[in-house]
Structure 1
Amino acid sequence: MPEGKIIKALSGFYYVLDGEEVIQCRGRGVFRKRKITPLVGDSVVYQAEKPTDGYVIEIKDRKNELVRPPIANIDQAILVFSAVEPDFSTTLLDRFLVAIEDNEIEPIIIISKIDLVVEAKKASLDQYMRDYQEIGYTVIKTSSITSDGIEALLPHLAGKTSVFAGQSGVGKSSLLNTINPELSLETNDISSHLGRGKHTTRHVELIHVGSGLVADTPGFSSLEFMDIEVERLAYCFPEIYQAGEKCKYRGCLHDKEPKCAVKEGVAQGEIPSYRHKHYLQILEEIKDRKPRY
């Protein structure tokens, strides 16, 4: 039977890319009974007598999946955070990074709207960039107005399936339009009343950009950590995990334990204090969450 990849899910239909042809499919009832929902990015087996009347009959094993946005089999996450409007937030960025790291997806950090940065904010923004680069993350500054950073980003997209994610209003759709003007994705400005972006992307869809596939996803501003255990959290902060290898006590949570190498690293300026602060905040969230039954 033919196989393909779901590139869009909308109103109960799944659009399956097979070569250069897109087949409109529905999901078999067996998925509902087994509480499995086909996701954009899924590799599937389908059957169809004509391009507008097919059925997804099997979902291949996933290498990863995200809940918000709902998408599977991602190679990398392009995390877009604006320098201003809305202001750059290390708190929100670190929450996104934890969610991505926990799913073992490679993150690339994009700082957008750099053309709007006033001189007084450039030094602090550059310091944040250096912090994340020293941890080992790829960080690229971009502007959809001046096209700065676009050439640096393009090689990272080639041949990969990427998800563009970030808070609404940071310019994800504008960035994709700059990369490929033929996309003509809907964009909108920041709401002056709410102080945050208006949602312009209403569903997840994989689109061709060069030799890769990218997903422009609905914006969202909060993340929950329902599946991460406390022992796992340090893995999602690479510099904390590395320093934690030198802790005196096995299983150290880098919180109240004595002779903690992570806390020593923070005190010596080797680990950014805000990163450790965010780690502790998420640690408390995980400890306080209600068990699921």
Structure 2
Amino acid sequence: MKNDTDQQVYACKAKGIFRHQEIKPLVGDYVQFEIQNDNQGIIYQIKPRKNELYRPRIANVDQVIIITAMADPTFNSYLLNKYLAFIEYKSLKPVIVCTKKDLVQTEDLYQKYFNWYPALGYEVYFISNKKDGKKTWQQFEQLFQNKISVFTGQTGSGKSSTLNTLLQAEIIKTQEISKALGRGKHTTTTSALYELLHGMIADTPGFSTFDLRDYEKSGLARAYHFFNQYASECKFRTCLHLHEPHCKIKALVQENIIPQFFYNDYVRIMQEQ
């Protein structure tokens, strides 16, 4: 069994009993294993998971860091709000990191979109991989202290560049935005864990693979934490906040407490399921 102070990396295979039980080790699992030789071992125990995602396949997540570009590619509120729905549906903590702030020249996007997210109760960071100094990044790094964090986000949002800056190494390849398509080229194809401040950061493939199983519309109607906060004030317990009368969520949209763009994205997500 590996000693807690041992920093050696071992290539391990799982015992055959896991295959018969249809259990597969995941990135993020805590396991017990026996050393077979200098750098190989065999896993004989997988400890209980507090949570797991299916696509990307990862377990024991403390928080999901959503990297979203403020520009280049153009900010897409629907993709961000879909991430938030999926993550909160799974009872995970989302953290929004808005990159490329140096490309935003006016306050219009802040007033239209970005200022709303802190107002709705989300933890939000605004960074630039090219412009921000060391002090800003040191403050940002504290977010990852003693946590397993998953990085995810729209392709071309600066996810790999942000990871490389945090890890102070060109560990993850980056590629420029495809100007013809207005989006980035995929640079991440598998999940991997990297150490930072006694925590672990998981880099995952892009949005197209982010998925939930056992998805239900009734769950989505309460997935957003502020939807869940007010949903009990709807007339109907099964309210989906779409066409039902006396809906508290729709009333809050009319009162501009919940922004119209956020509600429109929610409706679109519900229609696509």
Q: Which residue of 1 aligns with 2:19?
A: 32
Distance between the aligned counterparts of 1:93 and 1:179, measured in 2? 22
Map of 1:98-117 to 2, 5 A cutoff? 98-117=85-104
Preserved CA contact (<8 Å) 2:99 2:126: yes
Mapped to 2, the partners of 1:56 and 1:214 lie a distance apart of 22
- Alpha-carbon shift at residue 62 of structure 1 (Å): 0.8
Change (3 A) 1:39 1:3: farther
> 1:93 and 1:51 mapped to 2: Cα distance?
45
Are positions 1:75 and 2:66 aligned together?
A: no
Change (3 A) 1:51 1:201: farther
**Matches of 1:40 and 1:19, distance apart in 2:** 19
CA distance in 1, matches of 2:266, 2:6: 44
How many residue pairs get aligned? The number is: 271
Seq. identity, %: 38
Q: Following the alignment from structure 2 to structure 1, what is the Cα–Cα distance between the partners of residues 46 and 53?
A: 16
Deviates more, 1:102-111 or 1:248-257: 248-257
Counterpart code for 1:182: A
Comparing 166-175 with 180-189, greater Cα deviation is found at: 180-189
Q: 1:154 aligns with which of 137, 141, 159?
A: 141
Question: C-alpha distance in 1, partners of 2:171/2:212?
Answer: 34
SS in 2 for 1:125: helix
Residues of 2 paired with 1:225 and 1:86: CA distance?
A: 25
**Structure 2 Cα separation of the partners of residues 265 and 180 of structure 1:** 42
Task: Provide the C-alpha distance between the structure 1 equivalents of 2:73 and 2:52, rounded to a whole number of angstroms.
Answer: 28
Structure 1 equivalent of residue 110 of structure 2 = 125
| Equivalent residues of 1:86, 1:196 under 8 A apart | yes
CA distance in 1, matches of 2:222, 2:145: 28
CA RMSD of aligned residues (A): 2.1
Q: Are the counterparts in 2 of residues 180 and 209 from structure 1 also a CA contact under 8 Å?
A: yes
Distance 2:37 2:177 in 1: 43
Query: 1:218 — aligned with what?
Result: 205
Q: What SS does the corresponding residue of 1:111 show, helix, strand or coil? A: strand
Paired letter, 1:135: L
Whole-Å separation in 2 of the counterparts to 1:28 and 1:102 = 33
Point out where structure 1 has 5 or more consecutive residues left out of the alignment: 5-17, 287-293
Whether the 8 Å contact between 2:167 and 2:196 is mirrored in structure 1 is yes
1:35-87 alpha-carbon deviations (Å, 9 max, x no partner): 22211100112122224321122211111111222111011111000111211
1:19 shift after superposition: 4.0
The 5-angstrom pairing of residues 12-27 of structure 1 reads 19-27=6-14
User: Structure 1 CA distance, aligned partners of 2:184 and 2:126?
Assistant: 20
1:291 paired residue number? none
- Asked if structure 2 preserves the Cα contact closer than 8 Å seen for 1:168 and 1:197, the reply is yes
Q: Does 1:258 align with 2:245?
A: yes
Counterparts of 1:221 and 1:152, CA distance in 2: 31
Task: State the Cα distance separating 1:220 from its structure 2 match.
Answer: 2.9
CA distance in 2, matches of 1:57, 1:235: 39
Larger relative contact order, structure 1 or 2 (CA cutoff 8 Å, min sep 6): 2
How far residue 182 of structure 1 moved from its aligned partner, in angstroms, is: 3.1
Which residue, 67, 83, 96 being the options, matches 1:96? Answer: 83
- Structure 1 residue ranges, 4+ long, deviating more than 6 angstroms after superposition: none
Comparing 251-260 and 156-165, the one that deviates more = 251-260
Unaligned runs of 5+ in 2: none
Alpha-carbon contact 1:252-1:260 (below 8 Å) kept = yes
Return the letter of the residue paired with 1:140. Y
Give the aligned partner of residue 137 of structure 1: 122
